[in-house]
Amino acid sequence: MKKVILITGTNSGFGWLHTHTLSQAGFTVYATMRDTAGKNREKAESLAKLNNVHVIEVDLGSEVSVNNAVSHILATEGQLDVLVNNAGNFMGGIAETFTQKDIDALFDVHFNATWRTIKAVLPQMRAQKQGLIINTSSVLGRFSAPFMTFYNAAKFAVEGLSEGLHYEVRPLGVDVAIVQPGAFPTDIFGKSTYGSDSSIAADYGNLSALPDQIGAGIGQLFENLQPNPQEVADAVLNLVNTPQGQRPLRTVVDVATGQFARDANAHVSEGYKNFVSAFGLQELLN
């Protein structure tokens, strides 16, 4: 069956790979990004040359922009079957160096933008009685590593939104799934930023060097394990191809800490079933 797919953050990283992978699989893909006539012009033109790909400019910080994009897709295609929330950025460093502006910006792209797109597509998916929403979290949405505290918190928020919504809308024919990647060599690390109040770092003494130490460790991990970002795109393709109602809530893609995350997911899943059942909501589990 023809599927129409909307992907956010397609100018680089996982989003770039998602677009190539899903278009090659024969799906109609709407690839979104900002500044298609400016800094992302070459990326937009490159993706637009792919079969089945349409590039549209979207500002995920604007409800109007998101709603206009969804309306355009529906007017053109008459359906919207899959939303892949991929857009994100990475901010690290000592938590106390984060200003409120830093935190607001981080949560806006990871959490608020995720909800804006979901809110925009849900009415159509409910009307169709079928749809798939894939939210990109992280293994750091399951456990919180030091010196990545607010990034972790933003991913925890995505996890909470996705898990509750998974059970709310599944009876209506809409699947919500979470992809939890580990560390992969993508553009996100080249664009990493830190908390902007650098004056705080001096008060931490030797601890202030640890964020860079973690960065070096990630570089060593890439060298030793050579994780392939295509595995994340393949996981998304697998979710799209899995029949409705049979998609798992969480999919871990991580050669380093993946088993830790999978074990945590399994324990939480078992306890969650007991929790939901205690409120007489067993039908939501089926």
pLDDT of residue 190: 63
Alpha-carbon gap, residue 100 to 113, rounded angstroms:
18
Q: How many CB atoms lie within 10 A of CB 205?
A: 8
Residue 225's pLDDT is: 73
* pLDDT score, position 285: 82
Q: Is 80 exceeded by the pLDDT of residue 137?
A: yes
The rounded Cα 219 to chain-centroid distance in angstroms is 22
**Taking CA 115 as the corner, what is the angle to CA 145 and CA 177, rounded to the nearest 5 degrees?**
65
The percent of residues in the chain predicted with pLDDT above 70, rounded, is: 96
Please, what are the domains in the chain? Answer: 4-284 (3.40.50.720)
Are 200 and 94 within 8 A, CB to CB? Answer: yes
Per-residue pLDDT, averaged over 250-263, amounts to 88
3-class secondary structure, 42:
helix
Torsions phi, psi for 174 (to 5 deg): -105, 125
The whole-number average pLDDT for the span 47-76 is: 97
pLDDT above 90 covers a percentage of the chain that reads: 73
Average per-residue pLDDT for the chain: 92
Encoded tokens for 276: 């939901």
pTM of the model: 0.93
Over the stretch 28-57, which tens digit does the pLDDT of each residue have?
A: 999 999 999 999 999 999 999 999 999 999
Residue 245 near residue 177 (C-beta atoms within 8 A): no
Cα torsion through 35, 38, 41, 43, rounded to 10: -60
Q: How far is residue 103's CA from residue 82's CA, in Å, rounded to a whole number? A: 29
**Structure confidence by residue, pLDDT tens digits, 181-219:** 987 767 765 667 889 998 998 899 988 888 887 777 776
